[in-house]
Amino acid sequence: MTFKTTLYTGAAMVALGTGMAQAQDFVFPKGEGAFSWDSLEEFASNHDYSGQSIDITGPWTGADAELMESVVAYFEEATGASVNYSGSDSFEQDIVISTEANSAPNIAVFPQPGLLADLAQRGAITPLEPETAEWIRENYSAGESWVDLASFEGEGGEEHLYAFPYKIDVKSLVWYVPEQFEEAGYEVPETYEGLKELTQQMADDGVTPWCIGLGSGAATGWPATDWVEDLMLRTATPEQYDAWVANDLAFDSPEVVNAIEEYGFFLQDGFVNGGREAAATTDFRDSPSGLFQFPPECYMHKQATFIPTFFPEGSEVGTDVDFFYFPAPEGGDAEQPVLGAGTMFAITNDSEPARGFIEYLQTPLAHEIWAAQGGLLTPHTGINPEVFGTDDQRALNDILLDATTFRFDASDLMPGEIGAGAFWTQMVEFTTGSQDAQATGEAIQSRWDQLSN
């Protein structure tokens, strides 16, 4: 599931207007700090859109919209163009309506590849230049993964790169309290086998290893799908993961059932706070609170980059609480897979300045401006890591940069009745112990088969 809450709020944010940016609009003065100003200068020397404008729409509102506008300001100054950004909480519905009415903005920012793929197939998205795909391969960590993620079949059935990935969330994380680990003599595991051994060791010591919470109102169950997706990336191949997303590898196949069973390992008696029933019903926003109790109710919590929003007020990431990468098996083919989500820029109303903006997103500076204010992670290997405001932000981004494979949240790529329906509900049944992994996979696959008939 894509959760749109950002991890950090930028202390340096300023409200920016649309139209031609003036120097005083810049959140960071040009030429100062560790930013890649040379990349902006080179871009400016090759792009002049004086008197022209671009309309961009996306899911970012409020503080995130201001962060987007802070990035836009440098493009406006470099090119002379005017950019009008509008964010909407109902972006997914709005962009479909506008494309059908031939009133689409020049660029749309998609939080879910599925909708983008659908619009590309309808002919509502303009393919990007082939050179852009090559640029991503060469300049993004795990570049081929990003090209695959943003490539879809068009109206004529031919596959093209349709979008530029930007602002990524990482889900392959485990949160813990360093002081508790130190006092108990526990060490951060470096392999998946080590994580399972640490889980068993904690239980043997008489403490509870994990806090898990699947509760999320009508969306209850989605945190369990993240567990299964991460475990698929560690126990199956990336190609099998992709086949699973496309329903070419069934939910009741040995590979998927095995991933569900691996999730079940962490639900054993003594492994999860409150037991399986509590894991299935505890609200995901409340579940990490056990880390901060004295004595601790649990020592580890698996969740994405947004979860510190729900930590106790005043908790400082890197000091009071920290994270480590959800590790891959030792000596396996997985190396360092990363599960996540993110946004992608696509051209929905072609123009030369719109294509120029996609080129602007290739500059390190377009990533650094947002990253320096907090809330943006990027696989762009050319950014200066010194721009990150804290060590923990830098460490989070290193997980993304060190990824050998990146895969988007599978449930967000599946049909809604599966990824946001049967997958959620059946994982709740599995978590409570009402059914085993095989029955869980069969129930989900049965629903998918019904959709296909």
Is the dihedral angle over the CA atoms 236, 240, 244, 245 positive or is it negative? Answer: positive
pLDDT at 2: 47
Domains by residue range for the chain, with CATH: 23-169+341-408 (3.40.190.10), 173-337+411-452 (3.40.190.10)
pLDDT at 21: 40
Model-wide pTM > 0.75:
yes
Cβ–Cβ contacts within 10 Å for residue 182, how many? 10
Pairing outcome for strands 405-408 and 337-347: parallel
pLDDT at 24: 42
Radius of gyration of the chain (CA): 22
Cβ–Cβ contacts within 10 Å for residue 187, how many? 9
pLDDT at 1: 55
Alpha-carbon span 290 to 295, nearest angstrom: 9
Pairing outcome for strands 151-153 and 82-87: unpaired
pLDDT at 172: 98
Given a cut of 50, the residues of the chain with pLDDT beneath it are 2-24
pLDDT at 452: 82
Alpha-carbon span 408 to 142, nearest angstrom: 13
Give buried/exposed letters for 394-429 (b at 16+ CB in 10 A, else e). Answer: bbbbebbbebebbbbbbbbbbeeebbbbbbbebbbb
Pairing outcome for strands 53-58 and 107-110: parallel
Q: Residue for token digits 């940069």?
A: 401
SS (H, E, C) the chain: CCCCCCCCCCCCCCCCCCCCCCHHHCCCCCCCCCCCHHHHHHHHHCCCCCCCEEEEEECCCHHHHHHHHHHHHHHHHHHCCEEEEEECCCHHHHHHHHHHCCCCCCEEEECCHHHHHHHHHCCCCECCCHHHHHHHHHHECCHHHHHHHCEEECCCCCEEECCEEEEEEECCEEEECHHHHHHHCCCCCCCHHHHHHHHHHHHHCCCCCECCCCECHHHCCHHHHHHHHHHHHHHCCHHHHHHHHCCCCCCCCHHHHHHHHHHHHCCCCCCECCHHHHHHHCECCCHHHHHHCCCCCCCEEECCCCHHHHCCCCCCECCCEEEEECCCCCCCCCCCEEEEEEEEEEECCCCHHHHHHHHHCCCHHHHHHHHHHCCCECCECCCCHHHCCCHHHHHHHHHHHCCCEEEECHHHHCCHHHHHHHHHHHHHHHHHCCCCHHHHHHHHHHHHHHHHC
Q: Residue for token digits 């950014």?
A: 383
Cβ–Cβ contacts within 10 Å for residue 449, how many? 12
CB 342 within 8 A of CB 169: yes
